[in-house]
Structure formats: structure tokens, C-alpha cells
Amino acid sequence: MFPVTLSGVRFQPNGRTVLDGVDLELGDEGITLVMGPNGAGKSVLLRTLCGLIEPSAGSLTWAGGARPERGVMMVFQHPMMIRATVLENVALGLKPLGVPGAERRRRAADILERVALADRAQDSARHLSGGEQQRLALARAWLTKPRLLLLDEPTAALDPSATAEVERIIREIRTDGTRIVMTTHNLGQATRLGDDVIFISHGRVREHTPVQRFFARPASEEARLFIQGELPWRMAL
Amino acid sequence: MSFAATFSEAFSLIASLDGRVAEIVLLSIQVSGSAVVIGTFIGLPLGAVLAIGRWPGQQVGTVLVNALMGAPAVVIGVVVYLLLSRSGPFGHFGLLFSPTAMVIAQTVLVIPLMAAIARQVVEDAWQRYAEELQVMRFNWWHSLTTLLYDCRHSLLVAVLAGLGRAMSEVGAVMIVGGNIDGVTRVMTTAIALETSKGDLPLSIALGLVLISVILILNVVAHLMRAWAMKRYG
């Protein structure tokens, strides 16, 4: 599956450029943070990686070949919660893999222990808090043992304690051998979790560098302003 | 007979559990209940297929279902009559003027209505979940069953609408059933016949039972939905 290579990837819906010639290579380990101002193309990049968006131009290869049928999962900012229990929602992840119902529920119960939701297994998923819903979504993805997990702002709008719990789970998933690429606006989270940072603005990758170097010596003026929280809105758009 | 006396007699027919009334009510529930059960198993998945499927003719199918939703019951009755009559393609089954024929006619009547409502309900859910289901590699069948399960409480509306249409229609069952006393006489056909004969107490008694049955079912469905919304959100 790895390396995942993007060469000159463009995405231009209705003539508007969202990704503008992205060149990128992702290895098989670690946590990569995708950062940049709103509208920079971060979420679109994740959607392109997981196959929801077909690039208008350029190429995307997986170990030099086509996208693998399985092994790539994405957790959205507002994850799907069907009208069912927490356990049923988590077990849903195994449904397309043809795992029998009883086995799905057993494995879902096990993974709920790891995300500290075992005591909520029989509650309605829609009654969970935002942080608990993110943990549920992470559990659902983790259950399928993905090789690459894409997370779209998994801690947006969460309080510090919910954020810490989600970060703990992300670290565990990584330790389990899953490559993680996630978007975030949280600079502290980037230093706590990330191995490397992809900084995007105007649909272009401005930097792809280790986290420490990104914060210590940002290569671009835009990245420096972004880190300092001073990126003017005209530059962000 | 005065207006008050007519109602008084109607109520006494119900209170005394009149044999004629009970027989007609029971057959009505059997026929319409069977049609709605069969219609549920066909109409709801059909609506879901129209909501999530991307295949040639899907738009035509949606328009067709929406158009048939308002098809007059008598027209459906005539079509089923032609299909089941001796010279029709299914004439050798000898179903015409039987409760089975009435079930078939009512099933044909309720499927488009249930499918159209289901399509709308499932399409709304599909728009919210499509990307995530795609990422999880849900195939067409898994998506369909998951969405139907998720929308099950909202789909009660489709089932109730089908039941309401089946129980209240008169044209189709009159044509394919023949309104034979003790065999194919249901509440609506009996009301039409007894009113034309001037037996208003029986008509009113049946009318009251018909409205009560529909009201009770709606109350039960409302309570179930309210409980489900509280339980599952």
C-alpha cells in the first residue's frame, strides 16, 4: 500500500481550484498532521486520499499501483450515528467484511473497552456527547484494522478532557500499526501527536516537514504567520 | 328514522357486537392488513432502491412511483380485474371475487404510496451518510439494509399511509371482490351498499368502526415513534 504518492494532483470543481498541483509522498509509519487555514484544501486532500474525490488532473498511486480495495478508512468531523445502540454502531464497521453478526458484536464489545465506552454499549449512539461520538467513530474504524486512517478534525469543538481522550486513542491506533493522516487547527495537538506536518494553503503543499522543524523554522512566510495566529484572511482565502 | 335514532341504533349494533358487523370488520382487517404487510416488504425496499440507486431509468422509476401514488383505486381495480378474469393471464388461478383478489388489488394500490414516502425518507438519510458508507466500502445491499434500519421509525409513516389508503378505498375491492355477502364484503363496500339501500345504522356503525380502527393504529404508531425517538434520538 505504501508509499502513497500524489503527483501534480489538481481538483477543480466548476472551474474553482481547490487542489493546485499537490505533490506528496506518505510513508508507512507515523502520524501526519495536515494544517493550514480554512478553505486551504485540507479536507479535500483527505477525501482525495480515501477515494471520495477523483482528481481533475495528476496521479495518485499506492505502492506504485492502484488504490487497494480495503485498508483505508476515514473518520469525519461529524461521524455517522445511525438510530441504534453504541454497540450496533461500532459493529457496523465489520458489516461489509462479511463477519457474522455474533462475531461482529463480540469484536465491537472488545474495542469499546479500548475506547472507554463499554459502559455505554447499550445506550443510543445519538445520545452520546461529541467526544464520545468521536471515540465511537474511531472505534468503528479501528475495528477494521485499517493500514491508513484519515481523520478530519477529530477534536474540533471538543473540550480539553475529551480532546485528551481522543488523542490517547489515536496514539493507541498508531501503536497498533496504523498510519494516520489527520487535519487539525490545534497547534498544541500537532506538537503532542504529530511526527510530521503538511502545511497547505491555496490548494498547494507549502511544506512537508517534521513537526519540530515546522514550529521552530517554518519555511514559508505563510506558515510562520499561521503558527503565530496572524495569517491575514486575505492570504488564507 | 330520525338522525338521533339512526346513531343510537348504530351504537347499539357496535355495543352488541353484531355478527354482521364483526364479520365485515374482521375481513376488512384481514384483507387490508395482508395487503399492507406484503406492500411493506415490496414498497419500502423499492423506495430505498430509488433513493440510493444510480442506474439508468432511476428517474423514470421515481416519476412512475410518484404518479401511481395518486392513481384512482377504480383504475387499479379494473387492471387487476382484467389480469384475474377468466380471459386474463392469471385467470386460471380462479382468484376473481375472492379475498385474495382484494389483497392483490390493495397491495398494488399501496406499494407506490409506501415506496414514494420511503424514497423521500431514505434519500434524506442517504445524503447524510453516503460518503461514510462509501468509505466503509458498503456495497449497494449493505447500504440499503442499513438505511432502512436507521429510518425504521420514520418509515412507520409510510406503513400507516398504506394502511389508511387500503382500509379506506372502495373502488378496487368492489370491482375485484364483487361485494359478496359473507365472502368479500368489507367495511367500505358494505357502507356504500347499505347507504344506497337506506340501512343507515349499519353504514354508520361500520363507519365508526373504520374510523376507530384507523385512529387506534395511528395512536399506537405515534406512541411507538415517540418512544423510539426518545430511545434512539
Contact A83 B132 (CB under 8 A): no
**pLDDT higher than 70, residue A231:** no
Q: Is B139 an interface residue toward A (CB < 8 Å)?
A: yes
pLDDT 10s digits, A135-191: 999 999 999 999 999 999 999 989 999 999 999 999 999 999 999 999 999 999 999
**Taking CB atoms and an 8 Å cutoff, what residues of chain A touch B151?**
83
pLDDT 10s digits, A208-218: 999 999 999 99
pLDDT 10s digits, A9-22: 999 999 899 999 99
At A157 the pLDDT is 85
Q: Percentage of chain A with pLDDT > 90? A: 92
**Taking CB atoms and an 8 Å cutoff, what residues of chain A touch B228?**
83
**Taking CB atoms and an 8 Å cutoff, what residues of chain A touch B136?**
73, 92-93, 95-96, 140, 144
Please enumerate in sequence order all residues whose Cβ is within 8 A of that of B183, keeping only pairs 6 or more positions apart, or say none.
B97, B98, B99
Helix (H) / strand (E) element for B61: namely helix B58-69
**pLDDT higher than 60, residue B29:** yes
> Could you give phi then psi for residue A218, rounded to 5 degrees?
-60, 135
Instruction: Give the side-chain half-sphere CA count within 13 A for A176.
Output: 20
Please enumerate in sequence order all residues whose Cβ is within 8 A of that of B145, keeping only pairs 6 or more positions apart, or say none.
none
**pLDDT higher than 90, residue B82:** yes
CA distance A78 to A65: 31
Query: How confident is the model over B191-198, as a mean pLDDT?
Result: 94
Provide the pLDDT confidence category of residue B232 given band limits of 50, 70 and 90: confident
Provide the pLDDT confidence category of residue A233 given band limits of 50, 70 and 90: low
DSSP sequence for B4-38: HHHHHHHHHHHHTT-HHHHHHHHHHHHHHHHHHHH
Whether the bond into B72 is cis, omega within 30 of 0: no
- Give this prediction's pTM: 0.89
At A230 the pLDDT is 75
Q: Which residue of B has its CA nearest to A140?
A: B136
What's the gap in Å between the CA of B175 and the closest CA on chain A?
43
Q: Who among A51, A79, A83 is closest to B150 (CB)?
A: A83
pLDDT 10s digits, B124-177: 999 999 999 999 999 999 999 999 999 999 999 999 999 999 999 999 999 999
Q: Picking from A24-33, B93-102, B211-220, which range would have the lowest pLDDT averaged per residue?
A: B211-220
Q: Who among A70, A82, A125 is closest to B146 (CB)?
A: A82
Q: Taking a C-beta distance cutoff of 8 angstroms, is the pair A115, A176 a contact? A: no
Contact B146 A95 (CB under 8 A): yes
Q: Which residue of A has its CA nearest to B137?
A: A96
Within A34-93, where are the H helices?
Answer: 42-49, 86-91
Q: Picking from A5-14, B5-14, B28-37, B127-136, which range would have the lowest pLDDT averaged per residue?
A: B5-14
Provide the pLDDT confidence category of residue A236 given band limits of 50, 70 and 90: very low
Q: Is B149 an interface residue toward A (CB < 8 Å)?
A: yes
CA angle B49/B30/B211 to nearest 5° reads 90
What are the distances in angstroms from CA A163 to CA A46, A138, A169, B136? 21, 13, 10, 24
Contact B142 A80 (CB under 8 A): no
At B1 the pLDDT is 67
At A237 the pLDDT is 43
Contact A95 B131 (CB under 8 A): no
Count how many pairs of residues, chain A against chain B, have C-beta atoms within 8 Å: 57
What's the gap in Å between the CA of A166 and the closest CA on chain B?
20
CA distance A107 to A104: 5
What's the gap in Å between the CA of A202 and the closest CA on chain B?
24
At B17 the pLDDT is 85
Q: Picking from A40-54, A188-202, B1-15, which range would have the lowest pLDDT averaged per residue?
A: B1-15
pLDDT 10s digits, A74-107: 999 999 999 999 999 999 999 999 999 999 999 9
Contact A126 B232 (CB under 8 A): yes
Helix (H) / strand (E) element for B219: namely helix B200-232
**Cβ count near B115 (within 10 Å):** 30
**Taking CB atoms and an 8 Å cutoff, what residues of chain B touch A95?**
136, 138, 142, 146
Q: Who among A51, A92, A124 is closest to B146 (CB)?
A: A92
Q: 3-class SS at A124?
A: strand
At B53 the pLDDT is 85
Question: Which of A50, A72, A83, A89 best tests the B interface by mutation, with the highest count of B CBs <10 A?
Answer: A83
